[in-house]
């Protein structure tokens, strides 16, 4: 028999560890349908409590990313409408799905925010097909409307002039501009967690908004109604920005996935080691570091605890007592011989 060497033992342990990680990653990929299957939350834009909580999305959490079709995303407006089949749908502490997307389809850190409402095309007009991609809205739509390069026109070609919009889950239908008061009357109640003053209400108000194109309006749960799509959609919103400006309504091709299960605290390790443009661990709740330390301690000491526990159980079992008796008999018989 070949004797084991320290190097051989180390190589075996590394191989086993790599195999376990590979199996875990493949399993997560099979479950979520997307790669990578996890994202680390970097900011506090989705927290519900300052000290963090399981069930909502905190900085330092790992979030499973599910591959979900754009049409199956459930918005806050739909989930709070008693007339909608998705009424009551909740994810991560509030109604509606939480989505992960790239701002304007540009590169950079993805955004993980809640889908508030979906803007759909209603009436359209065929654009001037002689206009080029670099031409402005008036060149594409000389007779009026908003140029949407990603919606299909009545002539079956890509690109159309949108005259009116629909918003599922609300009373907005066939409207040139979108105005919705999320005050619990004609739309669900969305609490901004802020004081009402001047032209700012305590609930979410989308006011006289003419979208750039069809898509989903998004908002961080902790952003006090400052939507990602900026002040043209909701008064006082700063919006989120990419290389090409303020984010527009989220298009299908910008979507990375929908936020699934939450693995709390473990992503804090990555944030502490991050550099560059990352905010690091500055937004991670203090309680998360405590729980992370407990988890690390449990992982490190669990083999020793399990070994001691199993040893005690085996020593106290009837089989163990019987073995001791048999061993004593064997010793006595050997001495007599």
pLDDT in tens, the chain (337 residues): 456 677 777 777 778 767 777 776 677 666 566 666 788 888 889 998 876 777 788 888 889 999 899 999 999 999 999 999 999 999 999 999 999 999 999 988 899 999 999 999 999 999 999 999 999 999 999 999 999 999 999 999 999 999 999 999 999 999 999 999 999 988 999 999 988 777 778 999 999 999 999 999 999 999 999 999 999 999 989 999 999 999 999 999 999 999 998 888 778 777 777 655 556 677 777 777 787 788 778 777 777 777 777 777 767 767 666 666 667 666 666 655 5
How far is it, in rounded angstroms, from Cα 62 to Cα 38? 6
How far is it, in rounded angstroms, from Cα 63 to Cα 129? 44
**Is the whole-model pTM more than 0.85?**
no
pLDDT at site 1: 47
For 78, other C-beta atoms within 10 Å of its C-beta total 25
Determine whether 280 is exposed, middle or buried from the number of CB atoms within 10 Å of its CB (0-12, 13-18, 19+).
middle
Partners of residue 261 on adjacent β-strands: none
Helical H segments across the chain, by residue range: 6-32, 76-79, 137-140, 268-273, 286-315, 318-336
What distance lies between CA 46 and its chain's CA centroid?
A: 10
How far is it, in rounded angstroms, from Cα 76 to Cα 96? 4
The angle formed by the CA atoms of residues 53, 43 and 277, to the nearest 5 degrees, is 150
Residue 128, φ and ψ in degrees, nearest 5: -75, 110
User: What ranges do the domains of the chain cover?
Assistant: 1-32, 34-122+164-285
């Amino acid at each position: 028999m070949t004797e084991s060497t320290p190097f051989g033992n180390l190589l075996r342990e590394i191989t086993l560890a790599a195999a376990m990680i590979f199996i875990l990653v493949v399993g997560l990929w099979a479950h979520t349908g997307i790669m990578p299957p996890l994202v680390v939350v970097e900011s506090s834009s989705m927290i519900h409590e300052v000290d963090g909580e399981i069930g909502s999305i905190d900085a330092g959490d790992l979030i499973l990313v599910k591959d979900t079709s754009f049409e199956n995303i459930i918005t806050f407006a739909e989930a709070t409408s008693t007339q909608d089949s998705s009424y009551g749908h909740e994810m991560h502490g509030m109604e509606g799905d939480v989505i992960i997307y790239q701002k304007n389809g540009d590169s950079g850190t993805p955004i993980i925010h809640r889908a508030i409402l979906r803007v759909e095309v209603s009436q359209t007009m065929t654009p001037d097909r002689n206009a080029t991609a670099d031409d402005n809205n008036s060149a594409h739509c000389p007779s009026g409307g908003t140029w949407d390069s990603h919606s299909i026109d009545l002539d079956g070609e890509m690109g159309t002039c949108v005259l009116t919009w629909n918003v599922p889950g609300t009373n907005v239908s066939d409207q040139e501009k979108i105005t919705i008061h999320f005050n619990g009357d004609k739309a669900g109640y969305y609490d901004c967690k802020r004081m009402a003053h001047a032209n700012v209400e305590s609930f979410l108000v989308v006011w006289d908004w003419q979208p750039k194109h069809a898509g989903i309006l998004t908002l961080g749960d902790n952003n006090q109604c400052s939507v990602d799509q900026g002040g043209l959609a909701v008064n006082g919103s700063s919006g989120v920005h990419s290389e090409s400006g303020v984010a527009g309504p989220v298009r299908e091709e910008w979507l990375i996935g929908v936020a699934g299960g939450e693995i709390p605290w473990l992503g804090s390790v990555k944030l502490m080691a991050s550099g560059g443009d990352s905010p690091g661990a500055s937004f991670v709740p203090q309680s998360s570091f405590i729980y992370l330390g407990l988890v690390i301690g449990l992982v490190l000491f669990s083999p020793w605890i399990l070994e001691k526990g199993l040893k005690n159980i085996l020593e106290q079992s009837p089989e163990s007592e019987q073995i001791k008796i048999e061993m004593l008999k064997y010793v006595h018989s050997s001495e007599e011989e």
